[in-house]
A = this chain, B = another copy of it.
Amino acid sequence: MSENKSKHQQVIEALAVSDGPMSANELWEHLRSNPTLKSIGIATVYRSLKKGVEDGELVPVELESGSVRYESSGLQHHHHFLCSTCSRAYDVEGCVKNLEKLLPQGFEMTRHEILLYGLCADCKMAG
């Protein structure tokens, strides 16, 4: 047995320690910055994401048109912040009350997502 982690495991783990969901491409660029993964192919990233979702380890998160991001399943309830400058998505803790008040008559709500937009700390600092 190899003592090294498979690429697949590394994809899953990268998302486990990330501070927000990532798209296939974001993840690819992120992973390649790691010396041991310099040569990872985008196909492997897509394959791992697909398998991760099938295995229930990952959850797809759709925050925008154009790309699907992924995060570890089993994170506690949280929401997201989308930086208008760097386009990164960050997890934000907590929630708010009284969302049911918004629900129109006759509608049934099964879940919700709160999206905050603006500048992340890094971009604000850099700005």
Chain A interface residues toward B at CB < 8 A: 62, 64-68, 79, 81, 84, 90, 92-99, 101-121, 124-125
A69 to chain B minimum Cβ distance, whole angstroms, is 9
Which residue in chain B gives the minimum CB-CB distance to A122?
A: B106
A124: B residues at CB distance < 8 A: 106-108
Specify the chain B residue showing the minimal Cβ separation from A110.
Answer: B118
Copies of this chain present: 2
- Distance in angstroms from A14 CB to nearest chain B CB is 21
Choose among B94, B105, B117 the residue that contacts A110 (Cβ–Cβ < 8 A).
B117
Given A64-B65, A102-B79, check contact A120 B107 (CB 8 Å).
yes
CA distance A65 to B65 in the complex (A): 3
From residue A107, how far is it (CB to closest CB) to chain B in Å? 6
New contact pairs (15) apart from A62-B66, A110-B117, CB-CB < 8 Å: A62-B64, A64-B65, A65-B66, A65-B67, A94-B101, A96-B96, A99-B114, A105-B121, A106-B121, A107-B116, A107-B120, A109-B116, A111-B118, A112-B115, A114-B114
